[in-house]
């Protein structure tokens, strides 16, 4: 009886640990910056998506799936210029489970944010990205990944 109880507790803990990791296990993020003009930088946030999953775009197209969303930490030395742009092969597909056409990426996608520095300084752009991935059978819980990218200097 004790062994069965202990086994069930260990299995439950393993399932919870797997569920809590969510979408972050299916996507590897890489963050970088490149100077494109005087005091102007392009911050590239690249998502490499596990082959069996897809990750939803910033504009999913329907209610239900969690859209990829970026939040930037306020920095008085940095001005965000425009919206985050997506570079990749956007898939638009009808998914009955969501009741409409959804927008997502497979394999990889680059999210690009242009920022302007207020002077010749060295600082960073920090923030977080929330996202969700699904395969053809299930969706993993949404994940949030924090980042910090050096810019300037």
Q: Which DSSP symbol is given to 6?
A: H
pLDDT of residue 17: 37
Q: Taking the model in full, what pTM does it have? A: 0.84
Helix, strand, coil percent content, the chain, rounded in steps of 5: 20, 55, 25
So what's the pLDDT on residue 28? 97
Three-state secondary-structure class, residue 147 = strand
Q: Is the pLDDT of residue 79 over 90?
A: yes
DSSP state letter for 76: T
Run of H or E including 3? helix 2-21
Residue range 58-75: average pLDDT? 97
- Mode of pairing for the β-strands spanning 69-72 and 143-152: unpaired
pLDDT digits (tens, 9 = 90+) for 1-40: 444 333 333 333 333 333 445 788 899 999 999 999 999 9
Segment 132-149 shows an average pLDDT of: 95
Cβ neighbours of 79 (radius 10 Å): 13
- Domains belonging to the chain, first-starting first, are 22-152 (2.60.40.1250)
User: Has residue 64 got a pLDDT over 50?
Assistant: yes
Task: Please list, in sequence order, all residues whose beta carbon lies within 8 angstroms of the beta carbon of residue 20, skipping any fewer than 6 positions away.
Answer: 141
């Amino acid at each position: 009886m004790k062994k069965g109880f202990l086994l069930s507790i260990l299995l439950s803990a393993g399932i919870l640990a797997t569920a809590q990791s969510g979408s972050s296990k299916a996507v590897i993020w890489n963050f970088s910056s490149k100077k494109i003009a005087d005091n102007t930088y392009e911050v590239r946030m690249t998502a490499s998506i596990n082959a069996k999953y897809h990750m939803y775009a910033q504009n999913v197209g329907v209610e239900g799936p969690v859209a990829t969303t970026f939040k930037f930490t306020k920095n008085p030395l940095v001005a965000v210029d425009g919206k985050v742009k997506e570079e990749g092969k956007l898939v638009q597909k009808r998914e009955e489970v969501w009741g409409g056409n959804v927008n997502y990426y497979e394999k990889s996608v680059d999210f690009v944010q242009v920022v302007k520095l207020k002077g010749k300084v060295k600082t960073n752009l920090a923030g977080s990205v929330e996202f969700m991935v699904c395969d053809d059978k299930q969706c993993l819980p949404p994940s949030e990944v924090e980042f910090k990218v050096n810019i300037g200097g």
